[in-house]
Structure 1
Amino acid sequence: MYRYDERDHTIIQERVAQFRSQTERYLAGELSEEQFLPLRLQNGLYIQRLAPMLRIAVPYGLLNSAQLRRLARISRDFDKGYAHFTTRQNLQFNWPQLEDIPDILAELAEVEMHAVQTSGNCIRNTTSDPFAGVARDEIADPRPYCELIRQWSTFHPEFAFLPRKFKIAVSGSEADRAAIRVHDIGVQIVRRGDEIGFQVLVGGGQGRTPVIAEQIRDFLPEEDLLSYLEAIVRVYNQLGRRDNKYKARIKILVKALGAEEFGRRVEREWEQIKDGADKLTDDALAWAKSFFTAPEYKTFDGAVSDAALQAQADDDKAFSRWLERNSFPHRVPGYRAITLSTKPTGVPPGDVTDRQLEAIADLADEYSFGEVRVTHEQNVVLADVPQDRLLELWQAARKHGFATPNIGTLTDMICCPGGDYCSLANAKSIPVAEAIQRRFDDLDYLYDLGDLDLNISGCMNACGHHHVGHIGILGVDKKGEEFYQVQLGGSSSENASLAKVLGPSFSRAEVTEVIGKILDIYLEQRRPEEPFIDTYNRIGVQPFKEKVYAKAS
């Protein structure tokens, strides 16, 4: 895990002092709302429906136990005792007081955290695979490259005021668990012989105009990563529209020019800068990789460890279910990665209390080398758990509400805060999520459905990723009343696709019944062992539409 050096500490402390002065001047009436707006956004501060919201950067989703405990303390001392994990692998406080923000930022700086560039028209937090470094299908660990991108993009003088917000994701495995195809830039690590490089995708995104990214480079040498990204963002910064925020994202520019022409312009820009200061030397690459070495794993006989774990699972059905759904194969024999679910019935997806944050820190220290990862599905991963301690971990996780065995199922949904908090939302998301949780809380039924992504957004900004849910729900406004549009067939995987609108929207009271009808058609039409998304792709939207909109006889 990357640790700050003296320069990092100085930069963040100076930023805290700077924002403290700016906040004091604003509260004293010396800065107007218009003047303060870009300053607060560059420090992660929004004004939501009921209170300010502060978004904390969690680089590529990685946290240590000391940081978790500090986040818990901040939540308790400056907020209402809980926080929210986001789809960008960050963490949000929904109720801080404006005058307290500088003190919160000072507290964060003490544990090497900040809120810089978590908002505004700049390069946001770079996201990645929560199983980075441990996945069996990994080509190379993406975290060193994420850290290099973070350092390159933070406080970049050219890119502080881009036409619109800008998001980058990096995947290092064969399976895409970072949703790189719905990002402004998606970076896929590839191998050509003994050489590591990158496939580069551009122009993806969600929001009002969802787009799947297109490839402009099939192989970029490792040392050219930052200079090539620089060329992409330069072209966007020069040509991206600033007259209309709804048409300002890079996806609009790529569509207007065509991916081929956009790629040509990037190559021309890159030719001018590729041998400059951003070229990564062997020393720079080795330096970045030195922060992400393997922990001190114990040596296990894999077969013996697997057999012992299977015996424990055979003795306890509840443990077996949790193991099946919430554990992930590890590259090191005798270990597994464990996902702590934040989604028991009745809890808004991604929400955790201050005590739960402290419990996660304790679990990380006890079972996973003091480190956790936030997922873009709003859960938390302990990446390095010995198999002989999984039963013990499960029992501990149950006490704190983290052992719901629903990872990858219908109730492991992505959900934005929606109209309960967000001033941009057209409708509430959290009550819809809870209604679905309560309606479909039978584990046997969930397991029969199999892997199924359900994503909920309260508005077209798509913070809940509804465009790429197998089932997506979008809150819409109809003459001041909340309604919900249902979409089917989306995916954020390596076979990414955008969902199609099923038809006219529904009232909140109708949503769970509609989801039930959709699932009925799936169960009727699926082939043995066929996941929902494959059934949908095979039969199309029409059977679902006919079932949902059929008139009662």
Structure 2
Amino acid sequence: MYRYDTYDQTLVNERVAQFRGQMERYLAGQISDAEFLPLRVQNGLYIQRYAPMLRIAVPYGMLGSYQLRKLADIASQYDRGYGHFTTRTNIQLNWPKLEEVPDILAELASVQMHSIQTSGNDIRNTTTDQFAGVAKDEVEDPRPWCELIRQWTTFHPEFAYLPRKFKIAMTGASQDRAAIQVHDIGLRLWHNAAGELRVCVLAGGGLGRTPVIGDVVCEDLPWQHLLTYIEAIVRVYNQFGRRDNKFKARIKILVKALGIEEFRRRVEDEWAHLKDGPQTLSSEVVDAVRRHFVDPERRPVSDVAIEQFEALRLSDRAFARFVTNNVTDHKVPGYKAITLSLKRRDYAPGDITAEQMHEVADLADEYSFGKLRVTHEQNLVLSDVPVDRLEELWRRLDELGMANPTVGTLADLICCPGGDYCALANAKSIPIAQAIQARFEDLDFLYDLGPLDLNISGCMNACGHHHVGHIGILGVDKKGEEYYQVSLGGSQGDETSLGKILGPSFYSEDVPGVIDKVLQVYVDQRHAEEPFIDTYRRIGIKPFKEHVYA
């Protein structure tokens, strides 16, 4: 895990002091709301529906146990005792007092955390695979490369005021778990036939009001040119992206307007001024960052212990369910990555209490070398658990309410904060999520359905990524009333697709019944063990529409 050097710590400390002065002048009336807006957003501070909201960066989803404890203490002292993990692996505080935000930032800096560029029209937190570094299908660990991008983007003076926000995702595995095709820039690390590391670069993806799947700009980029090529893309966007209409300001609009060939030509022309320049990466620079991501000293797990784990899995049905859904294979025999569910009906998806943060930090220390990950699906991961301690961990998680054996099922839904918090939302999201969870809580039914992504957004900004849910739900406003639009057929990963709208929208109380009807069609029409998305692609949207609106 990356640790700040003197330059990092000094930079973050100085930003805290700078913002403290800006806040004092604002509260004294010396800075207007309009003048304060760009200052606060680049420090992750929003003004939401009922209170300020502070978004805290969790770079590429990596957290240390000491950092989670600090987040717990901050949530207890400065908020209402909980935090909310987002689809970009950050954490949000929904009720901080405006005047106390500089104190929160100072607390964060003490554990090498910040909220820099978690908002505003700049380059946001780079995201990656939650199993980076331990996945069996990994070609290259993306975390050092994400860290290099983080260092390059932080306070980049040329890109502090882009036409719109800008998001980068990277994967180093054969299976894309980072949704690189729906980001402003998507990056895939791969090896050519000679074993040389290359980068496939995509641009122009994104969700929101105009969902678009990204196009390949460069398929075979040598790793040395990663930063200069990204810079060329962002420069082209910064120069030619629209600034007259924020709904048409994202890079996806520019790529589609120019066409991928013309966009690629402009990027190549810009890159000609940067290629082989001072930001070209060297082995020494990359190796220096890689040293922060070395494997921990894992003790060997005996073949006997592995056999006992498999025997327990066969004999204990509840444990087997947990392993099947919440446990992921590891590159090291005898170890597993464990997903901790943050999906409980009495909490919003992604919410975690301060008490739970402390408990999870203790579990990370005891079972996973003091480290954990935040997932795109708003869960947590302990990435290095030996199988001879997995049953013990499972029982501890069950006591915390985090052992729900439903990861990857309908119950593991993604949900933005919606109208309960967000000033941009057209409708509430959390009550819809809770109603669906209540309607479909039978585990046997969930397992029979198989893998199914259900994503909910409270507005067209698509923070819940509803466009790429197998089932997507979007809150819409009709003359002051909240309605919900359902889409089907979205997916993320290697076969990314955008969902199609089922038809007219529904009242909130009707949504669980609509989902039930959609599932009835799937169960009736699927082939043996065929996943929902495969059935949808085979039969199309028409049978679902006919049954729902019959």
Kindly provide the CA deviation profile for residues 356-407 of structure 1, in whole angstroms up to 9, marking residues without a partner as x. Answer: 1111101100000000000010000000000000000000011111100000
- Tell me the equivalent position of 1:130: 130
- Tell me the equivalent position of 1:239: 240
Aligned residues: 549
- Tell me the equivalent position of 1:355: 355
User: Is residue 264 of structure 2 the alignment partner of residue 263 of structure 1?
Assistant: yes
- Tell me the equivalent position of 1:300: 301
* 1:59-70 alignment runs, 5 A limit: 59-70=59-70
- Tell me the equivalent position of 2:412: 412
Instruction: Give, in whole Å, the separation in 2 of the partners of 1:541 and 1:223.
Output: 45
Which moved further from structure 2: 342-351 or 54-63?
342-351
- Tell me the equivalent position of 2:209: 208
- Tell me the equivalent position of 2:18: 18
- Tell me the equivalent position of 1:291: 292
C-alpha displacement at 1:267, in angstroms?
A: 0.8
C-alpha displacement at 1:423, in angstroms?
A: 0.2
Kindly provide the CA deviation profile for residues 450-502 of structure 1, in whole angstroms up to 9, marking residues without a partner as x. Answer: 00000000000000000000000000001100000000000111100000000
User: Is residue 314 of structure 2 the alignment partner of residue 311 of structure 1?
Assistant: no
Letter in 2 for 1:20: R
* 1:218-233 alignment runs, 5 A limit: 218-233=219-234
- Tell me the equivalent position of 1:381: 381
C-alpha displacement at 1:17, in angstroms?
A: 0.2
- Tell me the equivalent position of 2:458: 458
* 1:190-205 alignment runs, 5 A limit: 190-192=190-192, 193-205=194-206
Letter in 1 for 2:115: A
C-alpha displacement at 1:341, in angstroms?
A: 0.2
The answer as to whether partners of 1:346 and 1:438 remain within 8 angstroms in 2 is no
C-alpha displacement at 1:315, in angstroms?
A: 2.9
* 1:439-454 alignment runs, 5 A limit: 439-454=439-454
C-alpha displacement at 1:215, in angstroms?
A: 0.3
C-alpha displacement at 1:529, in angstroms?
A: 1.4
Instruction: Give, in whole Å, the separation in 2 of the partners of 1:42 and 1:422.
Output: 18
Letter in 2 for 1:234: R
Instruction: Give, in whole Å, the separation in 1 of the partners of 2:508 and 2:119.
Output: 30
C-alpha displacement at 1:49, in angstroms?
A: 0.2
Q: 1:18 is paired with a residue of what secondary structure?
A: helix
Which moved further from structure 2: 450-459 or 267-276?
267-276
The answer as to whether partners of 2:204 and 2:215 remain within 8 angstroms in 1 is yes
Instruction: Give, in whole Å, the separation in 2 of the partners of 1:434 and 1:407.
Output: 16
Which moved further from structure 2: 309-318 or 504-513?
309-318
- Tell me the equivalent position of 1:85: 85
C-alpha displacement at 1:306, in angstroms?
A: 3.2
Residue segments in structure 1 that go unaligned for 5+ positions in a row: none
Q: 1:273 is paired with a residue of what secondary structure?
A: coil
* 1:364-513 alignment runs, 5 A limit: 364-513=364-513
Q: 2:170 is paired with a residue of what secondary structure?
A: strand
- Tell me the equivalent position of 1:115: 115
- Tell me the equivalent position of 2:58: 58
C-alpha displacement at 1:305, in angstroms?
A: 3.6
Q: 1:472 is paired with a residue of what secondary structure?
A: strand
The answer as to whether partners of 2:306 and 2:388 remain within 8 angstroms in 1 is no
C-alpha displacement at 1:311, in angstroms?
A: 1.4
C-alpha displacement at 1:197, in angstroms?
A: 1.0
Kindly provide the CA deviation profile for residues 133-173 of structure 1, in whole angstroms up to 9, marking residues without a partner as x. Answer: 00000010000000000000000010000000000000000
The answer as to whether partners of 1:346 and 1:437 remain within 8 angstroms in 2 is no
Letter in 2 for 1:21: G
Which moved further from structure 2: 186-195 or 52-61?
186-195
Instruction: Give, in whole Å, the separation in 2 of the partners of 1:217 and 1:540.
Output: 33
Letter in 1 for 2:172: G
Q: 2:159 is paired with a residue of what secondary structure?
A: coil
Kindly provide the CA deviation profile for residues 41-86 of structure 1, in whole angstroms up to 9, marking residues without a partner as x. Answer: 0000000000000000000000000000000000000000000000
Kindly provide the CA deviation profile for residues 227-281 of structure 1, in whole angstroms up to 9, marking residues without a partner as x. Answer: 0000000000000000000000000000000111101110111111111111001
The answer as to whether partners of 1:240 and 1:250 remain within 8 angstroms in 2 is yes
Letter in 1 for 2:462: A
User: Is residue 514 of structure 2 the alignment partner of residue 514 of structure 1?
Assistant: yes
Instruction: Give, in whole Å, the separation in 1 of the partners of 2:403 and 2:462.
Output: 28
- Tell me the equivalent position of 1:150: 150
Instruction: Give, in whole Å, the separation in 1 of the partners of 2:172 and 2:322.
Output: 27
Instruction: Give, in whole Å, the separation in 2 of the partners of 1:436 and 1:362.
Output: 32
- Structure 1 runs of 4+ aligned residues shifted over 4 Å read none
Instruction: Give, in whole Å, the separation in 2 of the partners of 1:20 and 1:92.
Output: 20
C-alpha displacement at 1:35, in angstroms?
A: 0.2
The answer as to whether partners of 2:124 and 2:166 remain within 8 angstroms in 1 is yes
Letter in 2 for 1:466: H
- Tell me the equivalent position of 1:187: 187
Q: 2:2 is paired with a residue of what secondary structure?
A: coil
Letter in 1 for 2:269: R
Instruction: Give, in whole Å, the separation in 2 of the partners of 1:270 and 1:253.
Output: 18
Q: Once the two structures are aligned, what percentage of the paired residues are identical?
A: 65
Q: 2:247 is paired with a residue of what secondary structure?
A: helix
Quote the RMSD (CA, aligned, Å).
Answer: 0.7
Q: 2:200 is paired with a residue of what secondary structure?
A: strand
C-alpha displacement at 1:420, in angstroms?
A: 0.1
- Tell me the equivalent position of 2:44: 44
C-alpha displacement at 1:316, in angstroms?
A: 1.9
The answer as to whether partners of 1:345 and 1:441 remain within 8 angstroms in 2 is no
Q: 1:119 is paired with a residue of what secondary structure?
A: coil
The answer as to whether partners of 2:301 and 2:388 remain within 8 angstroms in 1 is no
The answer as to whether partners of 2:301 and 2:386 remain within 8 angstroms in 1 is no
Q: 2:161 is paired with a residue of what secondary structure?
A: coil
